[in-house]
């Protein structure tokens, strides 16, 4: 059974929104340069993976109240992350619908069972980080929620659970990308997206199980690359359905290109 083509459009849309929001988060994240723990390069990920320790917060975000204090930056990142959670949850649900309509119902159920807990753990992670940053800005979150999420080794415990589920979710999605019935060019795009996703999953899961934070970061970077190529895969569903050459022919027949691609015949006088 062929999935509804609209599902590919919605997957492309929410992949685009997630990518765009990720770029915005990178642009507004004006963090100072510091040596982060465990060989990490991202202050946001470093905050996700710390334990409930005020000294570690200062190592990542600087001393509270100093001119270089990055706590307001971190709070701004979390404000954007609330939206990102919605985007990626909806994206995974649409991906599960594609698998369901392709009769991969167990994989579809697997995605649905994991994505909601992943989003919940992401929310708890954000709340725990805000609990660490209490008093560093206006945090419009009830104190009881911050206290509930800031238990034991939070936010690290929530972050590890979230990343474990997300890296697991990347595995069934490769079934969408690696379709032997696709035209060779689009199949190649899918193989690249799926391959990057598998690499992300392997690296990330190793990082979670062996408590190697740098591997989690590498897995997250490969996942971002997979998402970008995946966006191309979904966005070109209709355009490349018959292959690359027919797509180029359709492009050449577009009104704005027709004059450039129409050559005069040998019998025509180019001056008349």
Q: Does a structural domain hold residue 222?
A: yes
Residue 139 pLDDT: 64
Cα 31 to Cα 72: distance, rounded to the nearest angstrom: 10
Q: Does a structural domain hold residue 270?
A: no
Q: What is the pLDDT of residues 1-57, one digit of tens each?
A: 678 889 999 999 999 999 999 999 999 888 988 999 889 999 999 999 996 555 688
Percent of the chain with pLDDT over 70: 82
Cα 222 to Cα 219: distance, rounded to the nearest angstrom: 5
The residues, any chain, with a CB within 8 Å of residue 155's CB and separated by 6 or more, are 47, 48, 49, 50, 52, 124, 125, 126, 128, 129, 132, 149
The count of residues in the chain is 272
pTM of this prediction? 0.86
Mean pLDDT over 213-236 rounds to 96
Calculate the alpha carbon distances from 82 to 27, 78, 230 in Å: 17, 6, 22
Q: Does a structural domain hold residue 272?
A: no
Q: Model confidence at 243, in pLDDT bands (50, 70, 90)?
A: low
Residue 153 pLDDT: 75
Q: What is the pLDDT of residues 144-164, one digit of tens each?
A: 777 777 777 779 999 999 999
Where in the sequence is the domain holding 83, given as residue range(s)? 5-261
What's the domain count of the chain? Answer: 1
């Amino acid at each position: 059974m062929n999935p509804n083509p609209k599902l590919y459009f919605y997957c492309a849309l929410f992949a685009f929104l997630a990518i765009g929001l990720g770029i915005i988060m990178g642009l507004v994240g004006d963090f100072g340069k510091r040596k982060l723990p465990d060989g990490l390069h991202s202050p946001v990920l470093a905050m996700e993976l710390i334990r409930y320790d005020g000294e570690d917060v200062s190592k990542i975000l600087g001393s509270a109240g100093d001119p270089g204090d990055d706590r307001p930056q971190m709070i701004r990142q979390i404000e954007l992350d609330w939206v990102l959670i919605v985007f990626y949850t909806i994206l995974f649900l649409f991906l599960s619908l594609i698998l369901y309509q392709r009769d991969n119902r167990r994989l579809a159920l697997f995605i649905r069972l994991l994505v909601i807990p992943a989003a919940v753990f992401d929310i708890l992670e954000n709340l725990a980080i805000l609990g660490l940053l209490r008093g560093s800005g206006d945090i419009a979150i009830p104190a009881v929620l911050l206290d509930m999420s800031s238990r034991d080794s939070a936010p690290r415990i929530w972050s590890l659970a979230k990343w474990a589920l997300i890296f697991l979710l990347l595995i069934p999605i490769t079934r969408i990308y690696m379709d032997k019935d696709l035209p060779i060019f689009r199949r190649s795009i899918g193989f690249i997206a799926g391959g990057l996703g598998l690499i992300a999953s392997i690296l990330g899961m190793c990082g979670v199980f062996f408590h190697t934070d740098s591997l989690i970061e590498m897995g997250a970077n490969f996942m971002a690359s997979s998402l970008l190529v995946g966006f191309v895969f979904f966005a070109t569903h209709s355009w490349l359905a018959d292959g690359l050459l027919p797509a180029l022919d359709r492009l050449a027949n577009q009104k704005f290109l027709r004059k450039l691609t129409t050559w005069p015949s040998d019998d025509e006088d180019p001056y008349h």
